[in-house]
Amino acid sequence: MTKLTHFDSHGQAWMVDVSEKKPTRREAVARGRITMSAQALSQVSGGRMGKGDVLGVARLAGIMAAKRTPDLIPLCHPILISGVEVDLSINQAVSAIDITARVRCTGETGVEMEALTAVSVAALTVYDMCKAVDKAMVIGDICLVQKTGGKSGDYQRREEEK
């Protein structure tokens, strides 16, 4: 089992010291989904939701969330992010919006939490903008898809991990 790095020898939470690590190019991709009624999805895809451009606002919220991750997750390091992409796509087959976030930096620690936060906040924003039409929406399947760079090496989610 891999040692948990956010605890000291006494089991106390602490922020990992990354000062001895060499900066490397790092990237993380996360995804998630918000499932909703056919009526709500139709209004989103047709641009008829009362609060405005759901996908555009959620995309911006996801980008902003990635930049603010250390303010939300207590032991995350502030990172100089070099790029964030958030993509939201309509998935008619399952009456959902699929969300993917890609975050990049060159630094001493990774951007997995930033990518996961971007997906989570984008999904919450969709919920907020659509809740007048469908309060039964479900946010889920949020996961890390891949990451590159750093001491632990690259990671690619396998199909059976879904």
Active site residues per annotation = 128
Task: Provide CB contacts within 8 A for 49, sequence distance 6+.
Answer: 40, 43, 129, 130, 133
> Residues near 61 by Cβ (< 8 Å), separated by ≥ 6?
121, 122, 124, 125
Residues whose CB falls within 8 Å of the CB of residue 16, separated by 6 or more in sequence, listed in order: 5, 6, 75, 77, 109
The CA-atom distances, in angstroms, between 20 and each of 25, 47, 50, 71 are 16, 50, 51, 24
